[in-house]
């Protein structure tokens, strides 16, 4: 045994018989602590994903769980997650024809319930669009809400035409929606072309 090895063994013995077996081994690197997951962010993101997959009930449930009292209009300085959650709930309501629950008092069961829920969704998105006038995503969502009403389709078309004309349409689905609302054949075909260029899967008039 070399002198160095002898010194190492003696050092281990000096630590005492009760010392851990790895007392003389190199310390193992400490494992990084698991990152804390923000449950609000988690639920809002999950709600948005559920909405994208067409699961309106799940999307609404996750959004309501993430942020209480979503049926109330948010203050001007509301946190971004709160406004995202409310918009997710509103679009879920629109795409389900009002059948998605907004709150316990707005279950979306009867025809009157559904009409009330649709009106709420349009109001919520109109309010948010007014607060965030430069947010093109919110404007497209507002157009989708307005398009659900025969009385507001012209308004929805105007919003989408404006975004298209200024080349600010954020998604292929926005162009697909415009194509369905468009009364001008040339503009409708142009919207369909842009929809396909962006890889849209519902590019039909």
The last residue of one of the domains, among 73, 104, 132, is 132
What range does the domain containing 122 cover?
38-132
- Does 37 have pLDDT greater than 90? no
Domain assignment of residue 114, yes or no: yes
Do 152 and 169 reside in the same domain of the chain? Answer: yes
What long-range pairs does 64-73 form, CB within 8 A, spacing at least 24? 64/89, 64/101, 64/103, 66/39, 66/40, 67/40, 69/103, 70/102, 70/103, 71/102, 71/103, 71/105, 71/106, 71/120, 73/123, 73/124, 73/127
* DSSP label of 177: H
Specify the pTM: 0.79
Query: Of 14-18, 22-26, 54-58, 111-115, which range is least confident?
Result: 22-26
Do 43 and 122 reside in the same domain of the chain? Answer: yes
- What band does 136 get if pLDDT is binned at 50, 70 and 90? very high
Give me the number of domains the chain comprises.
2
Do 118 and 57 reside in the same domain of the chain? Answer: yes
Do 57 and 92 reside in the same domain of the chain? Answer: yes
More confident residue, 2 or 101: 101
Average pLDDT of the chain is: 85
Domain assignment of residue 80, yes or no: yes
Do 125 and 159 reside in the same domain of the chain? Answer: no
Residue 129 pLDDT: 95
Cβ distance 181 to 160 under 8 Å? yes
Residue 32 pLDDT: 55
Do 53 and 87 reside in the same domain of the chain? Answer: yes
Domain assignment of residue 7, yes or no: no
| H helices present in 71-132, as ranges | 80-95, 111-131
- What band does 137 get if pLDDT is binned at 50, 70 and 90? very high
């Amino acid at each position: 045994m070399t002198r160095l090895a002898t010194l190492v063994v003696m050092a281990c013995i000096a630590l005492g018989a009760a010392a851990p077996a790895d007392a003389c081994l190199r310390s193992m690197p400490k494992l990084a602590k698991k990152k804390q997951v923000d449950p609000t962010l988690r639920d809002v993101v999950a709600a948005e994903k559920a909405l994208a997959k067409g699961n309106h009930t799940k999307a609404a449930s996750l959004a309501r769980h993430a942020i209480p009292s979503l049926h109330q209009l948010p203050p001007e300085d509301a946190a971004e997650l709160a406004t995202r959650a409310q918009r997710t709930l509103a679009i879920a309501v629109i795409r389900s024809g009002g059948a998605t629950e907004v709150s316990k008092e707005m279950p979306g069961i009867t025809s009157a319930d559904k009409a009330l829920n649709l009106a709420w969704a349009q109001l919520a998105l109109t309010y948010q669009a007014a607060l965030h006038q430069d947010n093109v995503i919110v404007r497209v969502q507002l157009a989708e809400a307005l398009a659900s009403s025969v009385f507001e389709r012209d308004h929805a078309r105007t919003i989408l035409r404006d975004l298209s004309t200024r080349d600010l349409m954020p998604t292929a689905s926005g162009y697909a929606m415009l194509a369905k609302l468009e009364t001008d054949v040339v503009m409708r075909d142009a919207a369909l072309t842009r929809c396909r260029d962006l890889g849209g899967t519902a590019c039909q008039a």
